[in-house]
Structure 1
């Protein structure tokens, strides 16, 4: 338990950036490795209770490892469908050398090492008993609150605030524990269905239940207001989806049993509260997300849309083997047309499905398809269950919605590439997959 807590705290404080040159990786990865070893040596994780997640992680690791196996020139030359690559290799005198499928082996090794984070989360989760697994919702919601508070401190200190501890980050923005406002917006959105599940946890009495519902409602209102001033359009859209998801976690609120006048008064009050939050943000000129949505032009969006034809061409060139996990930046620079050249570089495809096809090839897409099939099947099974455990039922439903929010965010950005959001996604997967228990200490 201690090793799991240390690993989680380290990931939270140092895992907010996706960049492979993030200096905090020199702190995070050694700590994660030590904690993983401690977990495996002191406990017997019940891997079967979270199956098939270890299998999925193993398959994904295999697709990365295959790209690192040295191959003879007859096999790897021409495998990427680009004559330019073969021409460069020939000019450098490497046409007769063995080489892995990955065009950037160092970056692909980094991608393989990045899987240590989800592996550690799985090992830690599988080492806990049922009660502690359910109780993980408390520190997760606390993490969201800390990230929000940190964002306020960052804004208060200006762009030079010491609370921005990633060298490359959205300075002057409410990014919190992350390095990107879109990722912060995603974190806020996924918290909404989890808040709803938290309010549904069994309470010691009616008064405790009422206080918890009131606290959850206030926290949700704060998240909505925060999303408005954050400036992330994707984050605001996901927050609206999160509001709907929070209701769907447990649609039976008890309002239907009230008299019509009281029922409409409550629904009207909720709508009025949301409208008041939006009006408040607009009145103080802080509804940045709405301003960006209504803006006629946005350089960032125009750049991503202009790059789409190039990205699709890269997909056709890189299939079926892929260019190597982590290779997107140098590979895109090789394909980038003159019209897209600018002082900054294109750091990601801003669509993880497209980037996975480019770098991971058919094998990566196949593993993703299998995982999505499991997710839909597991979520459908839990939602069809009208009754069940009063804790696991809402928790599993909330986890499914939070996973969908992260996957939707991956269509316009790269949240799962950050160790922190990747670890949260792994925890959500564990909640959804949670089955037979039986954890024991090694003697």
Structure 2
């Protein structure tokens, strides 16, 4: 296939469906609450698309990403098993059910069959929420490599829109009409999310994403296109700095440092010009841009009224103590329901059972603010095993990606970018819960596929049809 034909390769129909669903998730799935109005539209759409994608899905496509399917399948199976009603004798023998068993006895319903999860209704909401990333997975695995990579600009545009909305939210003085979700902290730059930390994380992830996009398709022949994309990526990266600052997110500000360093490294070394002098020149240029951006960040923190991230980072607030208190109580919660867990979707109610009196106030603890610990609390040992398995798979894949040749094309650049972005999500999950939002789950699915696609050959739609026909 000639270079011109490759450049003008038309996307598949499933690409446009996946794109539309990603946009829908961005505008309706930015919150973790089960009563988010947008889920009334997003969840049914996800279930319908799962059915549509299942019709066209081939076994070979599942085998190509078998570890992702195995991990996701394990999550769904464990979650579903927790929703099956159990005999009273078996349920009462589970750890941590003593208080509820006594309440059942007093109420005269001690013979009721109950599922493992303490909150069946919330459990079903949590289980059905898994269909959102499942729909993205089933759609995206059927795209060829080029179409899968075409979804990166879509993510970048949506992240940019989120940042711009965040700026408007701050400039608008916290007007409720600028926020998509109730319960959002008015006056903060939450963008398309209900939590400013999640908005800042996505903006920080844009640094390596922009670097990967800038280098996509640069084979050294079209230098004008190469430098135009590079200049656009650098300009967008400079704009990202004040956007992250305006969010007032300390975790977002901290994560922008490794994100920016990773982008500089990708931009400096992974390019069409492999000369040593050229690399050093690009490294100097990229380092200069990073220095200018850092100076801009400092000036904005001094002169703009919304340098909240810097002020919150350097000030001694009760935020850290608040999280430590939650972690201490959550750790007790983990051992209370060990080894089976309190059940999917049950953290709020389970926490309230042992919540210390000094934490009682008009609010409630919606999450553990340490997602790995919350997974252990709700899913027990099975959840921890799945988490460890996913971490091992990530490390093994990332090792292969980072030890491969540095000039092996777009696929390796996407894989390395995905490795960095997933690590940023994991780091944010130490103090927060970004993966509890459907939109971020969809992005995580795409990152996982970009990371795993390194072993997959380029296949056009016609090639896949011939191969599937041969298999059948």
Aligned to 1:176: 191
Deviates more, 1:109-118 or 1:70-79: 70-79
What CA distance in whole angstroms lies between the structure 1 residues aligned with 2:306 and 2:410? 38
Aligned to 1:63: 78
Q: Cα distance 1:87–1:15, how it changes in 2: closer, same or farther (>3 A)?
A: same
Q: Cα distance 1:265–1:374, how it changes in 2: closer, same or farther (>3 A)?
A: closer
Q: Cα distance 1:266–1:349, how it changes in 2: closer, same or farther (>3 A)?
A: closer
User: Are residues 1:126 and 2:149 paired?
Assistant: no
Aligned to 2:234: 217
User: Are residues 1:340 and 2:359 paired?
Assistant: yes
Q: Which runs of 5+ in 2 are unaligned?
A: 1-13
Q: Cα distance 1:78–1:248, how it changes in 2: closer, same or farther (>3 A)?
A: farther
- Map residues 172-251 of structure 1 onto 2, 5 A cutoff: 172-203=187-218, 205-249=222-266
Aligned to 1:391: 410
1:110 corresponds, among 118, 125, 131, to: 125
User: Are residues 1:277 and 2:297 paired?
Assistant: yes
Q: Cα distance 1:335–1:261, how it changes in 2: closer, same or farther (>3 A)?
A: closer
Deviation at 1:251, TM superposition (A): 5.6
User: Are residues 1:10 and 2:24 paired?
Assistant: yes
Deviations 1:72-131 (A, max 9, x none): 122111312353233223222233232211111111111111110111111111121221
- Map residues 21-40 of structure 1 onto 2, 5 A cutoff: 21-40=35-54
Deviation at 1:140, TM superposition (A): 1.1
Deviation at 1:380, TM superposition (A): 0.4
What CA distance in whole angstroms lies between the structure 2 residues aligned with 1:202 and 1:242? 22
Q: TM-score, normalised by structure 2?
A: 0.88
Aligned to 1:146: 161
Deviates more, 1:274-283 or 1:21-30: 274-283
Q: Cα distance 1:78–1:256, how it changes in 2: closer, same or farther (>3 A)?
A: same
Q: Greater RCO between the two (CA within 8 Å, min separation 6)?
A: 1
Matched residue pairs, number? 442
Deviation at 1:424, TM superposition (A): 0.2
Aligned to 1:329: 348
What CA distance in whole angstroms lies between the structure 2 residues aligned with 1:110 and 1:134? 31
Deviation at 1:279, TM superposition (A): 1.6
Deviations 1:332-356 (A, max 9, x none): 1111111111111111111111111
Q: Which runs of 5+ in 1 are unaligned?
A: none
Aligned to 1:98: 113
Deviation at 1:250, TM superposition (A): 6.1
Q: Cα distance 1:261–1:164, how it changes in 2: closer, same or farther (>3 A)?
A: closer
Q: Cα distance 1:264–1:6, how it changes in 2: closer, same or farther (>3 A)?
A: closer
Which secondary structure state, in structure 2, belongs to the residue aligned with residue 136 of structure 1? helix
Aligned to 1:294: 314
Q: Cα distance 1:281–1:39, how it changes in 2: closer, same or farther (>3 A)?
A: same
Q: Which 4+ residue blocks in structure 1 deviate beyond 6 angstroms?
A: 259-263
Deviation at 1:159, TM superposition (A): 2.1
Deviates more, 1:66-75 or 1:360-369: 66-75
TM-align CA RMSD:
2.4
Deviation at 1:42, TM superposition (A): 4.8
What CA distance in whole angstroms lies between the structure 1 residues aligned with 2:418 and 2:281? 34
What CA distance in whole angstroms lies between the structure 1 residues aligned with 2:310 and 2:57? 49
What CA distance in whole angstroms lies between the structure 2 residues aligned with 1:405 and 1:19? 23
**Contact between 1:255 and 1:263, CA under 8 Å: does it hold in 2?**
no
What CA distance in whole angstroms lies between the structure 1 residues aligned with 2:404 and 2:57? 33
Deviation at 1:308, TM superposition (A): 2.5
What CA distance in whole angstroms lies between the structure 1 residues aligned with 2:387 and 2:228? 41
Which secondary structure state, in structure 2, belongs to the residue aligned with residue 162 of structure 1? helix
Deviation at 1:382, TM superposition (A): 0.8
Which secondary structure state, in structure 2, belongs to the residue aligned with residue 52 of structure 1? helix
Deviations 1:147-204 (A, max 9, x none): 1122123233332242312112122111111111000011011111111111111246
User: Are residues 1:423 and 2:423 paired?
Assistant: no
**Contact between 1:76 and 1:100, CA under 8 Å: does it hold in 2?**
yes
Q: Cα distance 1:229–1:389, how it changes in 2: closer, same or farther (>3 A)?
A: same
What CA distance in whole angstroms lies between the structure 2 residues aligned with 1:217 and 1:35? 36
What CA distance in whole angstroms lies between the structure 2 residues aligned with 1:286 and 1:255? 43
Deviates more, 1:136-145 or 1:240-249: 240-249
Deviation at 1:232, TM superposition (A): 0.3
Q: Cα distance 1:183–1:267, how it changes in 2: closer, same or farther (>3 A)?
A: closer
Deviation at 1:51, TM superposition (A): 2.2
Deviates more, 1:184-193 or 1:303-312: 303-312
Deviates more, 1:278-287 or 1:228-237: 278-287
